[in-house]
Amino acid sequence: MKTASYIKSAATGSIPLSGRLKIFLLVLAFIIIAATLCTLMILFSIKQKEKEVADLYAKSFEYIANGKQETATIIFSSQRSSMRSIFRHHDR
């Protein structure tokens, strides 16, 4: 006589309820790990983009501080277009 802890189905055969629960928890753990890794990759990408933008601004301030106004204007203009391309690439 089988107890209530056994569930029969065509797909699983005779797996006890505790075994099915362990399998479910194992699959759930792998899903959580995968989601965490994806989140870390996204955060790393955002960090890189922010660093690029900060570097662009730092270079423009450096040129302005050195008195190279004409060069600074050109650099700042190119930075704006670079930032647009960075953010367009990030939004995709």
Number of structural domains in the chain: 1
Q: What is the mean pLDDT of the chain?
A: 77
**Residue 6 structure tokens:** 């056994």
Q: Is residue 74 part of a domain?
A: yes
Domain carrying residue 69:
6-91
Task: Give the Cα-Cα-Cα angle 86, 41, 57 (nearest 5 degrees).
Answer: 30
Query: In this predicted model, what pLDDT tens digit does every residue of 43-58 receive, in sequence order?
Result: 999 999 999 999 988 8
pLDDT of residue 86 exceeding 50, the answer is yes
Q: What are phi and psi of 16, to 5 degrees?
A: -65, 155
Pick the closest to residue 49 from 6, 5, 91 (CA basis).
91
Q: Rounded mean pLDDT of 31-51?
A: 96
| Biggest alpha carbon–alpha carbon distance for the chain | 92
Q: Is residue 15 part of a domain?
A: yes
Instruction: Kindly report the pTM of this predicted structure.
Output: 0.50
